[in-house]
Amino acid sequence: MIATAWFSGKHNTTGGGYGLKLRQEERDQNFQRSWKTVFLSLPGRVGELELSLTPSFWNNTCRELRSAEIGRWFIGNGYSPWKKGSPPKFNLVQVQDNHFVLQLL
């Protein structure tokens, strides 16, 4: 599934306010409402991130996997900042249940 880089617009140097936005259809097909967390592996980063799925993840507008660590990864790998209206896109692969791997397109 395609995951688009997301930023809340609140600038900081800690990586907060970043995430991966999913299409509603792909979220509904690949995520389960019973999951409280998902695990995400990022390219070049050792170990998985544990991300909480809040109720807002299931509404029609939010749909982001949010984490300061995702933001630090964006910044550290040159994906942020991006040109307005052109956030980077990635491939989000479900490897097992609630475990996912982010891949470069």
Q: How many CB atoms lie within 10 A of CB 58?
A: 14
In the chain, how many H helices and how many E strands? 2, 7
* pLDDT class of 15 with cuts at 50, 70, 90: confident
Structural domain count of the chain: 1
What range does the domain containing 36 cover?
A: 2-104
Residue positions counted in the chain:
105
Task: Give the tens place of pLDDT for each residue, 59-79.
Answer: 998 999 999 999 999 999 999
